[in-house]
Amino acid sequence: MNSSNHMLRAMVRLVAITMLMLLAGCNTSAPAETMSSSADSSSTPSSALPQTPSETPTPTQNGETKTFNYGGLQLEVTNVHEVRTESMNDDGGNPWEYSVFICYPGAQVTVLTADMSDPSLTEDGKPHASWGALLASGERKEIVDDMNSFEVTPDILGIYSLESSMYVLKLEMYSND
């Protein structure tokens, strides 16, 4: 009897560990992102959890400055009013979550790290953009190293993967309506 209890416990542990590993593996499609808030443009992320926004914005901005991280992509967005998360299903039916930054007019996106492709893996030996800003016209603006900041306008829908065409950050304009 004692031997069968030990065997049963071992099997339950094995099943539990297997299920945990499977569940952890299922979460690989969701964006791993961090955001931090700051009232100045010199913010850097200090943890993987969102930080409490500053209570009073500086006179030169209407909202918060948020740093968005996804993999090696790091962006700083100014004049952010609110952040929320949306989800959708990818082409394979898997759930996909991404952040939505609602921005006041005059918001700027600064590329801190573009996460370009490894030049040793490309045919021409040059790095290529992995991310882009999707425009309402259907065109895209590739996100590359050393690019100038750009303004968030109603024409810019969000930042997405050029490979999978999935949003990682959607940008919306704030409206008092």
pLDDT at 51: 36
Q: What is the mean pLDDT of the chain?
A: 77
Task: Check whether 33 has a pLDDT greater than 50.
Answer: no
What's the maximum distance between 2 C-alpha atoms anywhere in the chain? 75
Q: CA 116, CA 131: separation in Å to the nearest integer?
A: 8
Output the pTM of the full model. 0.64
**Helix or strand or coil: residue 26?**
helix
The tens digit of pLDDT for each residue in 51-97 reads 334 444 444 568 999 999 999 999 999 999 999 999 999 889 999 99
Percent pLDDT > 70 in the chain is 65
In order, the DSSP letters of 44-108 are ---SSSPPPPPSS--TT-SSEEEEEEETTEEEEEEEEEEEEEEEEE-TTS-EEEEEEEEE-TT-E
